[in-house]
Amino acid sequence: MPRAFARVVLARALAAARAPVARAARRLAVARPPCAAKSTAAAAASGRGGVRVAELQKRKKLVGGDVVRVGDEVSVECVDFATSGEGVCKLANGMVLLCDGATPGEVVRARVTKLRKKLAYGAKTATERAAPNAVTAPCPHYEQCGGCAWQHVNYDAQVRHKRNRVVDVLARIYKAGEDAEAKVGACVGADETSRYRNKMEFAFASGTRGKTVVGLRPRGANDSVVDLSGGCLLQSEEADRVLAAIRETLERADGRLEAFDRTSGEGTLRSVTIRTAGGERGGEKAVMVDLATTASPNELKTGPLAGLIDVVSKVPGVVSVVHTSVPSEAELRRAGGGRSSKFVKGGTTTKAGSTKKVEAVFGENKLVETLNGIDFELSSASFFQTNTEQAARLVRQVREACAFSGDKSEIVLDLFCGVGTMGLSVASDCSRVMGWEVVPEAVKDAKRNAELNNITNAKFYRVDLARLNPSKGPKGLLTTPKGKELPMPDIVITDPARPGMDSALIAILRTIGARRIVYVSCNPATQARDLLLLTAPSEGADDVAYELKTVTPVDMFPHTTHVESVAVLERKA
């Protein structure tokens, strides 16, 4: 690996290690005002938070004079959003407080819930001065439910903050500085900010009076459920009808359908996933329901669970009911000291060979979704963008970013291709598409989708893009699992998961030297880190450097903190 590139790899590792909240603290850094120290003895005697004298003295030193304790109520102004969605506030001594529910411009009364060395966490207890962008959340469950983070924020402000987040990481991690503003285009907002998700997973839990409830996890907890009696505004009305039918059935079952206990592995009902598809061509939406339970085959045929399946299958629009068998094993263990949640992932029991058996108990394990005229056949396990309307816009953004010549001569390399969403969508513009994906089921789906649409110039292969050998150069990537060498691509589309691309993959892309790279990301921070590597100075003829042209944010998930971004890079002359 060239020395300069290795140095950039080291810089990448250092950048990735920096905590977003620490960066927020630096942005908010101000001169700390002098203030009289509180008596540590009195503070210890009060017993608030159970903090010892030595610990109070240590915290006092860290925060510059004022002792801040768990349980304290403070009046603070929110000045920004953190990447995790909380409001970034500043205490009088300069310490940063991340406050759940606070909005930029709002002055809130907040209770301190957790302390770290240079950071405090809090929960809003009252609004002292309303924010200019604050709105009333439309969902009756918003205050408790963890499904949304920003329903209390005007949508235009949400889009603005998401663009600012992309500008911020580009300036700091990619080192664009003041040029970041010019590189980032307008955020592609959504027309529909409710009923936009085509897939939602709900959990079951034990409720009051021994009855089972279904809903979403509350904020900061993974062992309980918010009973969505008013439905969920994120999913379609067709899906809401399914959820309502399940709730009514559970109410009538009077405890005979037990919820799965994630801490012990006991119980039956673990989760239900409701997926909708169709509507782009004017037809009615079709619904697939996937029930994940520990039930035996006999319980699927007779008894309360069979009755639930029968009720769900009769809901208008439901064309498929799938059962996913999960093992009767604990999925959570009790958290150690200092954690805000009582339980964390990682069960205490493990059974060798535990598998999830999937079978259709009504209809077929199949649903067809249409995106920009391309049909995609989806199974219950298939990954597909959960906002169909915005996914169509994202694909159009990628297609435009590829800047095809019009003569259909280009060869496209589609990395992390999934079910073929990007590659199949551009197949009509190029001579050949080569798709790489590690998940075998996704590769099968991609091949089937190519056949479904009579697309013959797109081939998909199973390759682990995190296990490449950069010393092989282009052959390290452009060789099929059976050893066949593939042609050099003109355009690369890459759409990695949140961790971004491995440094070995980036090194190989630089040796390939495609004229254009279109980088789609669901994590602007790791994207900016990878852009820094792709644009590092060239070390010779076999090491191509790129120039970043534009970055376009796309809001795929209104009312959440998540944002996608499409970066366009061109090979330097």
Catalytic residues: 522
What whole-number distance in Å separates Cα of residue 260 and Cα of residue 267?
A: 4
Residue 421, token pair as written in the block: 């969403």
Q: What is the DSSP string of 70-112?
A: TT-EEEEEEEEE-TTSPEEEE-TTS-EEEEET--TT-EEEEEE
Q: Note whether 274 and 243 are within 8 A (CB).
A: yes
* CA neighbor of 59 nearest in space, from 9, 112, 5: 112
Q: At what angle do helices 524-534 and 3-17 cross, to 10 degrees?
A: 170
Output the CA–CA distances (angstroms, integers) from residue 496 to 414, 466, 471, in the order listed. 11, 10, 22
What whole-number distance in Å separates Cα of residue 188 and Cα of residue 185?
A: 9
Q: Note whether 91 and 99 are within 8 A (CB).
A: no
Residue 195, token pair as written in the block: 């009923």
What whole-number distance in Å separates Cα of residue 471 and Cα of residue 474?
A: 9
* CA neighbor of 146 nearest in space, from 237, 234, 244, 247: 234
Residue 408: what residue type? K
Residue 160: what residue type? R
In DSSP terms, 301 is beta-bridged to: none
Output the CA–CA distances (angstroms, integers) from residue 118 to 21, 80, 95, 108, 511, in the order listed. 9, 17, 6, 20, 43
- Per the rule left: phi > 0, alpha: psi between -120 and 50, beta: everything else, 70 is beta
Give buried/exposed letters for 217-239 (b at 16+ CB in 10 A, else e).
Answer: bbbeebbbbbbbeebbbbbbebb
Could you identify the residue written with the tokens 């009582």? 342
Q: Is the dihedral of CA 476, 479, 480, 483 positive or negative?
A: negative
Q: Note whether 570 and 545 are within 8 A (CB).
A: no
Q: Note whether 10 and 1 are within 8 A (CB).
A: no
* CA neighbor of 385 nearest in space, from 178, 190, 109, 124: 190
Instruction: Find the DSSP H helices in 437-483.
Output: 440-452
